Amino acid sequence: MLFNILAIGDIVGQPGRKVLEKKLENFIKEQNIDFCMANAENAAGGSGITVDIAKKLFSYGVNAITMGDHVWKRKEIYDSLKSDQRILRPANYSPLAYGRGHVAIKSKGDCVIGIINLLGRTFMKPIDCPFRAADAAVEELSKQTNIIIVDLHAEATSEKIAMGWYLDGRVSAVVGTHTHVQTSDERVLPEGTGYITDLGMTGPHESILGRNIDRVLKSIVTQVPTRYDIAEKDLHIEGVVITVNRETGKAERIKRIRVTEDDNY
**pLDDT at res. 146:** 97
Candidate from 7-11, 190-194, 221-225, 240-244 with smallest mean pLDDT: 221-225
User: CATH for 2-260?
Assistant: 3.60.21.10
Asked whether residue 265 carries a pLDDT value surpassing 90, the answer given is no
Asked whether residue 132 carries a pLDDT value surpassing 90, the answer given is yes
Is 69 annotated as a binding-site member? yes
**pLDDT at res. 110:** 86
Asked whether residue 153 carries a pLDDT value surpassing 90, the answer given is yes
Residue with the larger pLDDT of the pair 225 and 133: 133
- Give the C-alpha distances (Å, rounded to integers) separating 137 from 33, 39, 96: 25, 19, 16
- Which residues make beta-bridge pairs with 151? 117, 175
What's the rounded Cα separation, in Å, for the pair 149 and 138? Answer: 10
Is 159 annotated as a binding-site member? no
Q: Is residue 60 within a helix (H) or strand (E), and if so which, with residue range?
A: helix 51-60
Is 153 annotated as a binding-site member? yes
Q: Model confidence over 167-218: pLDDT tens digits? A: 999 999 999 999 999 999 999 999 999 999 999 999 999 999 999 999 999 9
* Across 240-252, average pLDDT: 97
- Encode burial over 118-155: b for 16+ CB neighbours within 10 A, e otherwise: bbbbeebeebbebeebbeebbeebeeebbbbbbbbbbb
**pLDDT at res. 48:** 95
**pLDDT at res. 170:** 98
Name the residues annotated as catalytic. 70
Candidate from 13-17, 161-165, 223-227 with smallest mean pLDDT: 223-227
Question: What does the domain layout of the chain look like in residue ranges?
Answer: 2-260
**pLDDT at res. 109:** 79
Q: From 256, 81, 92, select the one nearest 159 (Cα to Cα).
A: 92
Is 10 annotated as a binding-site member? yes
Q: Model confidence over 39-73: pLDDT tens digits? A: 999 999 999 999 999 999 999 999 999 999 999 99
Average pLDDT, the chain: 96
What's the rounded Cα separation, in Å, for the pair 67 and 154? Answer: 11
pTM for the model stands at 0.96
Is 102 annotated as a binding-site member? no
Is 42 annotated as a binding-site member? yes
